[in-house]
Amino acid sequence: MLIVIPGALPSLPVAAELARLLPQRAPVLHGWLLAAAAQVDGFDVRAQGCTPYEAWQLEQAGYRPAAGTPSGAGLGPLLAGDAINDNHPVWLADLAHLSLGTDQAVLLDPGVMDIRADEAEALLATALPSIEAAGFGVTVLTPQRWRLTLPDELEPRTGSPAAVAGQPLRDWWSQDAAMRPWRRLLNEIQMAWYEHPANEARAERGLPPVNALWLYGGARRWSGTATSSPTASDSVASKGQTHILTELDAAHRTEDWANWLDALAYLDKHHLQPLSGSSGLPEQPTQLILLGADRRATLTLQPRSRLLAWLPAPKKNWNSWWSRPV
């Protein structure tokens, strides 16, 4: 059995305090951590161009990046799915909100955008002349996500919206001369969307304006590209003996640790407990993958034999990796 939990590993500044609360809030998971052998690997989001969860999804879909290519490039064909039937690079542009601070710009969490089809259509109608004049092409995939075709000489290296959200954009925004056509186009679009009727309607709904496109992806389809990988919007996705539990993901991305603890208690009671046997541990060999923002822990749980079941189980020092950098 495989269980994957995005957002399960809190950021290091709060990990020790949350570890102290874990036995009360998530007793089943705590018991599993005490019994499991763990392998913990660091994850460089900046180098990979995606989150650890997105990297895991790409692995499951059979994507293997070419040398020198970040893993996040594969999100283009993966997220476009069946809408792609060619062998050209798949670049995605998500409708987004850039929040401008006094000294930096930050991309808002894409999960809170809630873009309606009529809003996206109106924004596209306004932006289309600039897009075509700049030598780009556009195909609508969903209200929040478009596919762009880029001029031949333009090959950005960027990251997914989930990887970039909340981080200073100066760490992701290339100032290379080769990116000038994209920066110029984005500036035109931002001006065209300023005080756009669609954004005024969004303000009435209490939502942030759409004031940018975030470009990412760039890989070509590969043999056996999966088109049904669960996304962070799914609360539970199960296929055979694979369980993907995403209740923690939203609170983890916003670092809302009070809600994270509440979501963890729900996950523990309603998902992990039913998968446990009388001992409190899974009754079959289980691999548990816990994902954070910059690391991934792979835990292995093996059922104890009837003979060993009478003896005290050795306890692993899970805090040695939970609260410390990799």
In this predicted model, what pLDDT tens digit does every residue of 37-51 receive, in sequence order?
999 999 999 999 999
Provide the edge-to-edge strand list for the sheet that holds 137-142: 137-142, 145-149, 91-96, 212-217
pLDDT of residue 44: 94
For the chain, list residues with pLDDT below 50: 227-236, 238
212: enclosing H helix or E strand: strand 212-217
Q: Residue 307 has what pLDDT?
A: 55
Residue 292 is inside which H or E element, if any? none
CA angle (109, 115, 116) in 5-degree steps: 165
Instruction: Identify the three-state secondary structure at position 16.
Output: helix
The 3-state DSSP class for residue 296 equals strand
Task: Write down the pLDDT at residue 224.
Answer: 64
Amino acid code (one letter) for 313: A
CA atoms within 13 A on the CB side of 43: 27
Q: Note the pLDDT of residue 227.
A: 47
Contact 86, 95 (CB under 8 A): no
pLDDT at 312: 58
